[in-house]
Amino acid sequence: MRRQGLVCHLGLQRHLFTVGRDWCRKFIRVNMASATRRIVCSFRQHKLFYLKSRLQYNAVALPFNLAGPYGYVEQIHPLATRFFHASKTFYGEKVPFKLSDIGEGITEVTVKEWYVKEGDKVAQFDPICEVQSDKASVTITSRYDGLISKLHYAVDEMAKVGTPLVDIEVSGSVSEAPVEELQEKDAIPLGEREESLELELPAEKVLTTPSVRKMASDLKINLRNVQGTGRDGRILKEDMLRHIESLSSSKSTPKPSQVPQQQAKAVERETTSQQPSPSTKTPQIIRPSVPVGVDRSEPIKGFKKAMAKSMTASLRIPHFGYCDEIDMTSMAALRHSLKENPMVKERGIKLSFMPFFIKAASMALHHFPVLNSSVDEACENITYKASHNIGFAMDTSLGLIVPNVKNVQSLSVMDVAIELARLQELGNKGSLGATDLTGGTFTLSNIGSIGGTYAKPVIMSPEVAIGAIGRVQVLPRFNSKGEVVRASIMQVSWSADHRVIDGASMARFSNLWKAYLENPSTMILDLK
């Protein structure tokens, strides 16, 4: 078998292939007559075919040296082969290929080199030009397969990012040239595959395997309509089968436009059926027309806004509650006796229960420092605060504010009382300073002064615990002898951050605080 050489022009590269002679004969008969049209070659040898389809080029194969018994063979100038696939009937619209964003905030670049010229054929990812920006040299590669129709910039011109760099004639909708009779007869199985390849040659090539393509072409399915689930949107065989199923099933089921109408009608029927029954059962009630007030809206400002903000922050804390009852009989008696005491009278301070509560809380916090701690936002660090800055809730005309008494651990009950009085005065005037309002580590809310027994207080971020003290009520209780005695009972409700405090710690703290208040003389034991 005489072997002849074919020179295959693949873009700018020349590859040397050799094929058998009898095939060559076939090729000549098929393609010589259609030399002006785009020529697609089909190689019998598998290797060559694989090369061609991988490179996604249209290979133009022409015999360069044929001397044979075929008579009508002409010797074609090898340079002329370049232009065989430049026929305009084949390619589609001109797409301006814009200079994409290079990054680093660069808006202008200098075009330094062109790798293509007008009329050149390019494939996707072929380098088109080299641009330089500052010290970065960028190689711009083509996004489409097609033909370069216009270069917008010359070498050393400044190109703006986002403006068209080149115009590419993309092989979009393929106007298929009328297939030759010879072609069909001679290269039937391969020829069909070529056609299906051509059909999918536009700008964004659909990624599939050749077997799937054959299936699509056999069943006359457009691959663009099939949903691909493989990598990069590849259409797998399963996708094709699913598409086929859906096509066949959609024909059998009724039209989707009819179904919702039917459903709507059904719903209507149901509602109309329901309406008559209730109206018949209830009697007609005549209501006189009442003048309706007007809605009033105002922006949330000042203290209310601060409260809203802090409450939203507190919502993130997981609260747990612990409530208890305290027998305030002894404490009430103590306070009553101290009122008459000349020392208290001299200092002119009104002694309420609050200083005792605050001081007792501070003394109990010595034993349970975890309740006097602070947690950060992400709950990664816990800070055990050294000073007991115990806040107390104050209801003013402007709203709820929580000033705090600083360093209660080093203050006596009297000092606490004096400080409380000062803060209350300032609060009533509305002139509390930032230092008084910030830096609190623990809070006590005496809602009982207004009313209520048990409450569910909200922890003030970034603290971890809060207590709400209820009203002192006189209630019957059993004493140690089993007799019913009257006792001044006060409820306390604690809330703590369950991320850092467990129920046992809270309970023990509450018991200690309760012990101090039920037996005020025990406070003397822990005096510092």
Partner 1 sequence: MNIFRNSYLLLRYHQVKITRLGNMNSYYPVSIIATRSIADDVSKKLVFISKSNNIFENLALEDWFYKNFDFENQSLLFMWVNTPCVVIGRHQNPWLEVNLKNLSQNSVLLSRRNSGGGTVYHDQGNLNCSFFTSRARYNRKYNLETICGSIRSHWNLDLTISPKEDILLNSYKVSGTASKLGHRNAYHHCTLLVDVDPSLLHQMLNVHELGIQSNSTPSVRSPTLNLKACCPEISVDEVIHILGCYYIKNSPLCFQGFDFVTPSEENFPGNFVIIIT
Give the one residue of 36, 75, 137, 410 binding partner 1; rule: CB under 8 A: 137
Residue 146 C-beta: closest distance to partner 1, Å:
17
Residue 154 C-beta: closest distance to partner 1, Å:
10
Provide the greatest CA pair distance for the chain. Answer: 140
Q: What is the DSSP-derived secondary structure letter of residue 81?
A: G
Provide φ and ψ at 497, rounded to 5°.
-80, 110
Buried b (16+ CB within 10 A) or exposed e, 196-206: bbbbbbbbeeb
Nearer to partner 1, 100 or 163 (CB): 100
Give the one residue of 1, 2, 47, 434 binding partner 1; rule: CB under 8 A: 47
Task: Rule CB under 8 A: say whether 51 interacts with partner 1.
Answer: yes
Question: Look-up: residue for tokens 């049209």?
Answer: 37
Task: Rule CB under 8 A: say whether 496 interacts with partner 1.
Answer: no
How big is the chain, counted in residues? 528
Q: Which residues ranging from 138 to 197 are in contact with partner 1 (CB under 8 A)?
A: 138-141, 155-156
Task: Rule CB under 8 A: say whether 281 interacts with partner 1.
Answer: no
Beta strands in 84-240 (DSSP E): 94-98, 108-114, 121-122, 127-133, 136-141, 146-151, 158-160, 164-170
Q: Are 367 and 507 in contact (CB under 8 A)?
A: no
Task: Rule CB under 8 A: say whether 438 interacts with partner 1.
Answer: no
Backbone region of residue 482 per phi and psi (left: phi > 0; alpha: psi in -120 to 50; beta: other values): left
Q: Which residues ranging from 100 to 119 are in contact with partner 1 (CB under 8 A)?
A: 101-105, 110, 112-113
Q: Environment class of residue 376 by beta-carbon count within 10 Å: exposed (0-12), middle (13-18) or buried (19+)?
A: exposed
Residue 30 C-beta: closest distance to partner 1, Å:
22
Task: Rule CB under 8 A: say whether 18 interacts with partner 1.
Answer: yes
Task: Rule CB under 8 A: say whether 310 interacts with partner 1.
Answer: no
Residue 105 C-beta: closest distance to partner 1, Å:
6
Residue 27 C-beta: closest distance to partner 1, Å:
17
Q: Is 502 one of the annotated active-site residues of the chain? A: yes
Residue type for 368, please?
A: F
Q: Are 226 and 213 in contact (CB under 8 A)?
A: no
Catalytic site residue from 22, 156, 218, 502: 502
Residue in 419, 408, 355, 415 with CA at minimum distance from that of residue 386: 408
Rounded distance between C-alpha atoms, residue 60 and residue 45, angstroms: 16
Nearer to partner 1, 140 or 405 (CB): 140
Q: What is the DSSP-derived secondary structure letter of residue 72?
A: S
**Looking at 44-52, 87-95, 286-294, 459-467, which segment touches partner 1 (CB under 8 A)?**
44-52
Task: Rule CB under 8 A: say whether 45 interacts with partner 1.
Answer: yes
Residue 138 C-beta: closest distance to partner 1, Å:
4
Task: Rule CB under 8 A: say whether 312 interacts with partner 1.
Answer: no
Give the one residue of 54, 135, 220, 481 binding partner 1; rule: CB under 8 A: 135
Rounded distance between C-alpha atoms, residue 324 and residue 75, angstroms: 109
Nearer to partner 1, 142 or 495 (CB): 142
Nearer to partner 1, 139 or 227 (CB): 139
Positions annotated as catalytic residues are 498, 502
Interface positions with partner 1 (CB under 8 A): 13, 15-18, 45, 47-48, 51, 101-105, 110, 112-113, 125, 130, 132, 134-141, 155-156
